[in-house]
Structure 1
Amino acid sequence: MSCRGAPSTAGRGGTGHYGTPEGVAAMVAHLAGPEAAGVTGSVFTVDAGANA
């Protein structure tokens, strides 16, 4: 299943769907927590593998 007008992720290593606001919120919550205290200078792409 793909989003209307969006490029297909078939065969590109993606999960077959795009990221969601909930996925972004989960990443933000993780980075704001103590588990991510050592994470610095990083870029995180939350797109369910669409750009893999």
Structure 2
Amino acid sequence: MATAFWGIRVMGIVKKHDFGDLIWKKIKLTSTRKANAKEHLHLIFQVLIPFF
């Protein structure tokens, strides 16, 4: 459950501050970390969507 909450929290922050790639520059992610973060969020969404 903590993971699900974390995923919702992160997506809320990303959506709130989504200005294209600015969010990624703001938190200084390398391209590899950016790809890993997107993949992680995608996996979280695959788990969360059935619950909504």
Bigger Rg, structure 1 or 2: 1
Task: Give the number of the structure whose residues are more often helix, by fraction.
Answer: 2
TM over 0.5: no
